[in-house]
Structure 1
Amino acid sequence: MSYTLTRTESLGDDEVRARLKGDPLEASRTILAAAREGVVEAQTLLGQILLDGHGIERDPALARTWFRIAAERGDSMARNMLGRCLEQGWGGPVEPEAAAGHYRQAAASGLDWAMYNYAGMLATGRGVARDQGQALALYRRAAELGHAKSMNLVGRYYEEGITVEAHPEVAYAWYRRSAEGGDFRGQFSHAAVLAARGEVDAAIHWLQRALEGGNLNFLRVGRVSLAEAGEPRIRALALAYHQRAAELGDDSDRQALAAYAGA
């Protein structure tokens, strides 16, 4: 039997989380009811499912509204996600300056994802003056909190000597931590280090892990890099990256697969 919430029911955070484990439609109803009752965590979750279209019709504009409501009530993740909407143009115009402001506020509260996102704005100069030193400091803070994507970027700063003296061994240690933390870009970076050291089996392991978790943009870049690898066993993985990109992507990815497979 399904359970439908009425508007008069009041749910706590633990109850909301417990009911999210079931059917997506029922979960979305639970979240909607709790959000209307003023449960801040539910308001943030509602914004996310509206953004994703999970169990409910996708509505980025309404997602942005709910993120704003929860952010104004002090939810740092909601403020971070409001920043994402403003940065990416989800549900409204692109507003990089406003996005950077929201990231900065959420980062100041200690949220690692906001530190990562604000660092990205600082590193590229979008919505805020470019400041690689501050970007690295934020990536490091997030990394020390266990944020795997930030670990990979700290590694890049040390490998390339961006605002710090280049230190390959420090970079490689961060890549390894990022890989072990589950970031697919960190896994790819770690694999590159292992391949350069001649540890081909270990490199292939991490490249396969990255393939499993990587998004489309990553796969598009990775397939090109792998196709240029000197080691034949690593170069062979380019086909798997092309195939996965073709599954996730568009006609251009399927054409790229056909061209690569036929070469």
Structure 2
Amino acid sequence: MSFIGRPFFLSLILTWAIPVAVVASPERVAMVIGMAEYEAITPLTNTRNDAEDLAETLEGIGFDVTLGIDLNEAELRAMMKDFSFRSETADLALIYFAGHGIEVQGENFLIPVDARPRSNLDVQRQSVSLKELLDVVERARVMRIVILDSCRDNPLGGAIDTEQVLQTAQQTTDQPTRGVGGLAPANPDRGTLVAFAAKDGQVALDGTRGNSPYARALMQKMAKPGLEISLMFRQVRDAVLQETANLQEPYTYGSLTGQPFYLNPDQDGQPNVSGDEPSKTWSKLRPDQESQLMALADLGDTRSMIGLAYIRLNPEDQRFDPAQAVAFLQRAAEKGSPEAQMELAKLYEQGIGVEVDEARALELYRAAAEQDLADAINDLGFLHYQGGLGLRPNPTRALELFERAADLRHPEAQFNFAALIDDGLIADKGPKDAAAYLYAALRSGSQDVLNLLLERPTMFAEETRRELQAQLQQFDFYDGSIDGDIGPGTKRGIRAAYGLE
């Protein structure tokens, strides 16, 4: 059995160079929705403009955009289903919704144009929840962003009167609004950012200049070359506060990955979602942006602390200072960042910036794993499988950790767990389960997994290969025989499932 994983614990099968004449699926996809012509509640003036203009902005910076205007519930759900499948092979999936939204019993709902709500139950039945939107983008490989230019709550409890809600909202300002009181705070999974046009508890203005203040600021900052995404949302916030005289403060929830990201790279070639080492990509940050990152870190932003640490871990950068990197990671780890805990564990394990301390490294790996950081769980699996950091080999515990990491969609863990099933080491799972994990690993975007399945498919039993063909056939990636022969047709299906056409 061959594993993909930590090279100093088990033999690592390195990425193989495979020349394939194919075109990759879009790395960045967006679904942009504007709801204006409501049938039963007050129409909105600028939401159509906001959606159309933002879609144009996103297309201009390289997104593959799906635009929906004035959708009824059925149309909205059909668009969500299609976008969910396409976003699985994208690095970044982004959703923007401009329209009415309502909080019902602590949950946020976005209202299609054909909704006729007269009660909380009507809202729940006739609308799409924020949770459903998050489910749509949850399988994007690196980053997920949901932006709501829509802030309403339901102040009237169980029997809502949307006309009265809208009239009440407009008593607080002479501008049209998209709500009163704001949506409920969001709590997305790691690697997902939810951005609200107005902080929970505030009104979002519809605007009087063709676009909402939030949409206008968003488009201006998105189009700005070379602006790292954390700083971009910070500048959007500042611009909206200035335009609305502090009436409206945008807010973001959740945490992005530790990889720097530029919606619109400048000519110096900042990456979009790069496969390079984070220390190298963060080092490309311009000095003015590094100072802004420092300011965010001083405000307690753990992602900024991690970015500053990565810069100081790049030996090719004049700012190289492992001890200072440790200090930044310590701050972020103490604030509960699992990614900082994981990176700090590596430094303690390898003695970079600190003395080697295996007990402290293991403690940090476990802390990150307890917060469901799949990388940490997978590494702990290897530590238990082979023994390390003071642990004795414990294959039973290792298998539990591999399965947990696989179920959290860690692609290497998915592959490894499929191999364990194929070898008959998982009592309650068989070839169909192994194939399901292999298919999921392809969709998760591991180049190692793709290369192994193309070059060494016979490392898996024939029945597992048959089940993989059936999986590919189920999702229209393969139309040949289910015979376990991974020939040209099956390989085309494997590449297509990975996101290559």
Q: What TM-score results when the alignment is normalised by the length of structure 2? A: 0.39
Q: Partner amino acid for 2:354? A: V
Q: How does 1:71-110 map to 2 (within 5 A)?
A: 71-88=297-314, 93-110=319-336
CA contact (8 A) 1:152 1:186 kept: yes
* Alignment partner, residue 151 of structure 1: 377
CA contact (8 A) 1:194 1:203 kept: yes
Q: Offset of 1:55 from its aligned partner? A: 4.2
Q: Offset of 1:116 from its aligned partner? A: 1.1
Give the counterpart of 2:285 among 41, 50, 60: 60
Q: Partner amino acid for 1:202? A: D
Q: Partner amino acid for 1:34? A: R
Q: How does 1:105-116 map to 2 (within 5 A)?
A: 105-116=331-342
The change in CA–CA distance for 1:132 and 1:30 in structure 2 (over 3 A counts) is: closer
Could you tell me how far apart the structure 2 residues matched to 1:81 and 1:125 are?
20
Could you tell me how far apart the structure 1 residues matched to 2:432 and 2:456 are?
15
Farther-moved stretch of structure 1 (60-69 vs 175-184): 60-69
Farther-moved stretch of structure 1 (63-72 vs 80-89): 80-89
Give the counterpart of 1:214 among 441, 445, 456: 445
Does residue 32 (structure 1) correspond to residue 232 (structure 2)? The answer is: no
* Alignment partner, residue 179 of structure 1: 406
* Alignment partner, residue 91 of structure 2: none
Deviation by residue 1:70-114 (Cα, 9 ceiling, x = unmatched)? 112222222122223333579874443322221122112211111
CA contact (8 A) 1:103 1:115 kept: yes
Count of residue pairs brought into register by the alignment: 236
Give the counterpart of 1:189 among 413, 416, 432: 416
Give the counterpart of 2:436 among 182, 202, 205: 205
Higher strand residue share = 2
Q: Partner amino acid for 1:100? A: V
SS at 2:459 equivalent? coil
Deviation by residue 1:28-52 (Cα, 9 ceiling, x = unmatched)? 365424257799977x999x89x32
CA contact (8 A) 1:143 1:150 kept: yes
SS at 2:398 equivalent? helix
Q: Offset of 1:192 from its aligned partner? A: 2.2
The change in CA–CA distance for 1:41 and 1:203 in structure 2 (over 3 A counts) is: same
Could you tell me how far apart the structure 2 residues matched to 1:45 and 1:176 are?
25
Say which one has the larger Rg. Answer: 2
The change in CA–CA distance for 1:191 and 1:123 in structure 2 (over 3 A counts) is: farther
CA contact (8 A) 1:136 1:157 kept: no
Q: How does 1:13-28 map to 2 (within 5 A)?
A: 17-19=195-197, 25=219, 28=222
Could you tell me how far apart the structure 1 residues matched to 2:459 and 2:297 are?
46
Could you tell me how far apart the structure 2 residues matched to 1:64 and 1:241 are?
44
SS at 1:17 equivalent? strand
The change in CA–CA distance for 1:177 and 1:67 in structure 2 (over 3 A counts) is: same
The change in CA–CA distance for 1:22 and 1:172 in structure 2 (over 3 A counts) is: farther
Could you tell me how far apart the structure 1 residues matched to 2:499 and 2:314 are?
24
Q: What TM-score results when the alignment is normalised by the length of structure 1? A: 0.68
Could you tell me how far apart the structure 1 residues matched to 2:312 and 2:363 are?
24
The change in CA–CA distance for 1:110 and 1:186 in structure 2 (over 3 A counts) is: same
* Alignment partner, residue 120 of structure 1: 346
* Alignment partner, residue 7 of structure 1: none
Q: Partner amino acid for 2:352? A: R
Q: Offset of 1:242 from its aligned partner? A: 8.8
Farther-moved stretch of structure 1 (155-164 vs 64-73): 64-73
SS at 2:372 equivalent? coil
CA contact (8 A) 1:159 1:167 kept: yes
Give the counterpart of 1:231 among 448, 461, 471: 461
> Structure 1 unaligned runs (5+)?
5-13, 249-263
CA contact (8 A) 1:60 1:90 kept: no
Could you tell me how far apart the structure 2 residues matched to 1:126 and 1:104 are?
14
Could you tell me how far apart the structure 1 residues matched to 2:215 and 2:250 are?
21
CA contact (8 A) 2:308 2:328 kept: yes
Give the counterpart of 1:136 among 362, 375, 378: 362
Q: Partner amino acid for 1:17? A: A
CA contact (8 A) 1:40 1:70 kept: no
CA contact (8 A) 1:25 1:55 kept: no
Q: Partner amino acid for 1:174? A: L
> Structure 2 unaligned runs (5+)?
1-48, 55-184, 187-193, 199-213, 223-231, 243-248, 271-283, 469-484
